[in-house]
Amino acid sequence: MSIHKPVLLKETIELLNLKEGMTVMDATLGGGGHSREILKKIGDVGKLIAIDLDEKAVENFRRKNKEERRKQSKNIILVNGNFADLEKILTDLKIRKVDAILADLGWSSDQMGDAHRGMSFLVEAELDMRLSLRITNQYECTNSNPNAKCIVNNYSERELGRIIKEYGEERFWKNIARKIVEYRRSKEIETTKELAKIIESAVPGKYSHGKIHPATRTFQAIRIEVNQELKNLERFIPQAISVLAPGGRLAIISFHSLEDRIVKTIYRANARGRVRTDEITGQAIVETAPEIKIITKKPVTSGEDELEENPRARSAKLRVCERR
């Protein structure tokens, strides 16, 4: 049974402006909390397309719906795939346009607590961090599908420093990268808690008693590198906008500044359109008209009631746009 609680559920469903009979995509199925609410809104004649790279999430949702014998089950299309391939997924399904799209970029509590994935320093596990584990040898290190164990034991000090600095926004990135490289000279780094201890040893003592665990930002950085999260997000948003029907809405929930910055930047660029100045006349020439209008001028965040019930919602930011 899933222990995951969907974040900003009420606000997201309201801002998607869902109606009965709509075709809606949940691009990040996860624990399925948002999808279940979507089904209530679109009714028996609506259609839900739910995507997740995590095959376990897809199978859990399929099994739960079968157990509950939902009438809407006939109108649910489950896809084990990457939301960055959204256009191809819809083409394969012979669907041209959808009426609303949701993407919750957070990791579910189920995934973070799964020892087989090795994502959290709170759970002792073999380092992995891949969202999809569809390979024969779960911990095999390959160029096409590197896991966390592969990265911390094979990346150069310079490469480690880059991802910890850029993706983790960690101020002690140099010390952490150096300590990792020093440690692995005598022994391969194998587990989550082993890596967490190395990171703790690389930062000042007072930093260890801060609001967040000293390994938080480095683990975030490695997860982003393993799953190519930011690159996939940059691929996903333009595709999502292009497949929306006029008046359709795209809602994205992000959990850290790097994701939110990408969402905000792409939304703004598509809301402005592209304009150039004629070199001879000096007149403004519109090359592309604005494709969207931004519904949330500022990101929507969780209220006190939700924060009290679900502390992980503290960093969540919801941004919504509408296709013109």
Domain boundaries, the chain: 9-110+229-323, 121-227
Tell me which H or E stretch contains 239. helix 229-243
Strand partners, 51: 79
| Token duo for residue 128 | 């992995």
CATH of the domain spanning 121-227, picked from 3.20.20.140, 1.10.150.170, 1.20.1250.20, 1.10.1060.10: 1.10.150.170
pLDDT of the residue at 108? 72
pLDDT tens-digit series, residues 37-87: 999 999 999 999 999 999 999 999 999 887 776 555 679 999 999 999 999
Count of CB atoms situated within 10 Å of the CB of 55: 14
Instruction: Select, from the ranges 53-62, 93-102, 207-216, the one with the highest average predicted confidence (pLDDT).
Output: 93-102
**Best CA proximity match to 242, nearest among 124, 91, 130, 116:** 91
Residue 187 has pLDDT above 90, yes or no: yes
pLDDT of the residue at 300? 98
**Best CA proximity match to 257, nearest among 319, 179, 196:** 319
Count of CB atoms situated within 10 Å of the CB of 312: 17
Q: Residues 129, 131, 135, 136: is their CA dihedral positive or negative?
A: positive
pLDDT of the residue at 209? 73
For residue 33, CA distances in Å to 8, 19, 217, 240 come to: 11, 18, 27, 21
Contact 215, 196 (CB under 8 A): yes
Question: In CATH, what number does 9-110+229-323 get?
Answer: 3.40.50.150
146 φ/ψ angles, rounded to the nearest 5 degrees: -70, 145
Total-model pTM: 0.90
CA–CA separation, 161 vs 218, rounded Å? Answer: 10
CA–CA separation, 149 vs 25, rounded Å? Answer: 33
Count of CB atoms situated within 10 Å of the CB of 122: 14
pLDDT of the residue at 129? 93
